[in-house]
């Protein structure tokens, strides 16, 4: 019985293949009219082109060192993904630091309670006998008003320590840059957020950076962020940001107020870019985002008598050497 492998018809091409099985196949377009030939050629060229592009794409990925994976700024191995991974690692570190600080604060609270107890014991000298002093302590302990005051103070201290630890875990206490993709997560996960829309080439945006960097570590109750307006077109339009710098205050993700430029900040109208950090603190405090009060005239006079010059931090030639005072 003849082998099916060698049956190729009785034509010249079949005889050639039977004689030389490693030779080229018969002309695939034989027997077709011109239109069919053109269509088949077009299909073949399209397939070949797509295969060639696919191979070139794979070669390019391996040449970049991506191991054949998708890359680029928007791919899972691009810069945006790496920045996201770094941000997640930083948040984990911040949470760990916050928990450590919370434990330290609890230890400090216990230490303060021990010191108070030591001071109470030292007060025994004012009484004729230890029994008389113990009787007084028993009376105070039995007083429901004193007990309520003591418990309220302890609960307030615990609540404050808990809120501080929670805020530190969310990124409070520093002045940080965020991307457009991080906007919603960062703005909606904290009660109070101060967000500065800036342009990297604007000098006044650098001035705002300077003051917010000084304020952020002292006001854990608010999250301080900055975002590049040039790279955030959606939120610039959504929030109607028209002038830079613009500082927007959010409460629970809702805009409550904004500062455009340096409204009423300047010490001298002739030098609008020079103003005290406390001016900005006072404005932010007026929105409810932080706790801060400008010193009264009486306090200012007393400070001057003591030789303290409460002029605050001003952006200027000596901006790398600032007073520690935040007063105006």
**pLDDT tens digits, one per residue of 51-68:** 888 777 777 766 665 555
- Tell whether the model's pLDDT for residue 4 goes beyond 80: no
- Tell whether the model's pLDDT for residue 23 goes beyond 70: no
Report the range of poorest mean pLDDT among 62-66, 210-214, 262-266: 62-66
Which one is predicted more confidently, 72 or 79?
Answer: 79
Residue 24 DSSP one-character state: P
**Mean confidence (pLDDT) of the chain:** 75
Strands of 175-177's sheet in order across: 175-177, 223-228, 192-198, 246-251, 254-260
For residue 98, name the pLDDT band (cuts at 50, 70, 90). Answer: confident
Helical H runs in 222-319? Answer: 233-238, 277-287, 297-305
- Tell whether the model's pLDDT for residue 325 goes beyond 70: no
For residue 317, name the pLDDT band (cuts at 50, 70, 90). Answer: very low
**CB neighbours of residue 160 within 10 Å:** 13
The rounded distance, in Å, linking the Cα atoms of 103 and 254 is 33
What three-state secondary structure class fits 176? strand
The rounded distance, in Å, linking the Cα atoms of 316 and 257 is 27
Do 177 and 225 touch, CB atoms closer than 8 A?
A: yes
Structure tokens at 257: 């107020």
The rounded distance, in Å, linking the Cα atoms of 170 and 174 is 10
- Tell whether the model's pLDDT for residue 87 goes beyond 90: no
| Of 245, 153, 159, residue with least CA distance to 199 | 245
Q: Residues 6 or more apart from 273 whose CB is under 8 A from it?
A: 203, 204, 207, 262, 266, 315
Tell me the average pLDDT across 287-309: 75
pTM, rounded to two decimals: 0.51
- Beta pairing partners, 177: 226
> How confident is the model at residue 160, as a pLDDT?
72
Which one is predicted more confidently, 17 or 273?
Answer: 273
């Amino acid at each position: 019985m003849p082998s099916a492998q060698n049956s190729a018809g009785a034509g010249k091409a079949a005889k050639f293949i039977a004689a030389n099985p490693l030779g080229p196949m018969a002309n695939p377009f034989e027997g077709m009219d011109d239109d069919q030939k053109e269509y088949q050629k077009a299909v073949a060229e399209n397939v070949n082109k797509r295969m060639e592009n696919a191979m070139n794409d794979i070669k390019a990925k391996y040449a970049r060192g991506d191991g054949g994976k998708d890359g680029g700024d928007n791919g899972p191995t691009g810069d945006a993904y790496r920045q996201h991974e770094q941000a997640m690692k930083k948040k984990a570190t911040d949470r760990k630091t916050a928990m450590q600080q919370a434990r330290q604060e609890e230890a400090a609270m216990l230490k303060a309670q021990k010191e108070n107890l030591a001071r109470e014991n030292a007060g025994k000298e004012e009484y004729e006998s230890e029994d008389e002093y113990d009787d007084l302590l028993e009376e105070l302990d039995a007083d429901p008003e004193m007990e309520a005051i003591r418990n309220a103070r302890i609960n307030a201290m615990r609540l404050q320590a808990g809120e501080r630890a929670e805020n530190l875990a969310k990124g409070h206490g520093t002045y940080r840059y965020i991307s457009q993709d991080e906007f919603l997560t960062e703005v909606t996960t904290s009660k109070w957020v101060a967000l500065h829309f800036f342009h990297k080439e604007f000098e006044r945006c650098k001035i705002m950076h300077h003051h917010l960097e000084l304020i952020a570590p002292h006001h854990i109750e608010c999250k301080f962020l900055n975002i590049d307006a040039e790279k955030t077109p959606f939120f610039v339009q959504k929030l109607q940001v028209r002038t830079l710098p613009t500082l927007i205050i959010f409460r629970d993700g809702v805009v409550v107020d904004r500062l455009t430029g340096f409204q009423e900040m300047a010490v001298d109208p002739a030098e609008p870019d020079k103003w005290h950090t406390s001016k900005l603190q006072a404005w932010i405090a007026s929105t409810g985002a932080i706790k801060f009060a400008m010193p009264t005239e009486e306090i200012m006079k007393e400070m001057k008598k003591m030789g303290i010059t409460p002029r605050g931090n001003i952006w200027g030639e000596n901006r790398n050497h600032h007073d520690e005072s935040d007063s105006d």
